[in-house]
């Protein structure tokens, strides 16, 4: 039965025993460490009288991620890259739209001062001639 928790660091001999068992019962793949059928951090831990967490940490430091974990990470990364590309396309579309609107604004003269700009904010234009009539 594996111990409940470890109070002291692994000795060099204990680490070597764990790493040797991991190496004997698995292979390194492009996606990470892959145990042979029937083997896992838990199975190695039972043989070494260690928790699967101790074995997992040792395996990670020496051999890297498990292949299943790396695959999930890769899928998330691919999803994030797709989303980032979509945001970049949207940004490019918006930039092009802003340029078109500015060109339209300049061609119609909408950028010039309007009657509302000459008013006191209420839309009523006061001119010198209108003031003279008062």
CA distance 112 to 129: 23
Same domain, 78 and 97: yes
pTM (2 d.p.): 0.49
CA distance 43 to 24: 13
pLDDT by residue (tens digit) across 16-42? 999 999 999 999 887 788 899 999 999
* 31 in Cβ contact with 71 (< 8 Å): yes
| Residue 33 included in any domain | yes
Q: How many helices (H) and strands (E) does the chain have?
A: 6, 2
pLDDT in the model for residue 73: 57
pLDDT in the model for residue 120: 58
pLDDT by residue (tens digit) across 79-108? 777 788 888 888 888 888 888 888 887 777
Same domain, 57 and 99: no
Same domain, 37 and 79: no
pLDDT in the model for residue 116: 47
Which residues touch 46 (CB under 8 Å, ≥6 apart)? 1, 2
- Strand ranges in the chain using DSSP code E only, listed in sequence order: 26-29, 32-35
| Residue 40 included in any domain | yes
């Amino acid at each position: 039965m594996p111990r409940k928790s470890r109070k002291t660091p692994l000795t060099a001999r204990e680490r070597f025993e764990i790493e040797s068992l991991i190496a004997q019962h698995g292979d390194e793949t492009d996606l990470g460490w892959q145990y042979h059928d029937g083997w896992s951090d838990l199975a190695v831990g039972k043989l070494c009288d260690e928790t699967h967490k101790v074995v997992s940490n040792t395996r990670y430091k020496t051999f890297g991620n498990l292949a299943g974990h790396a695959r999930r990470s890769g899928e998330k990364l691919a999803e994030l890259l797709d989303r980032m590309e979509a945001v970049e396309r949207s940004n490019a579309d918006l930039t092009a739209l802003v340029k078109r609107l500015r060109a339209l604004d300049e061609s119609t003269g909408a950028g010039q001062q309007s009657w509302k700009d000459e008013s006191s904010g209420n839309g009523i234009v006061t001119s010198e001639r209108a003031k003279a009539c008062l």
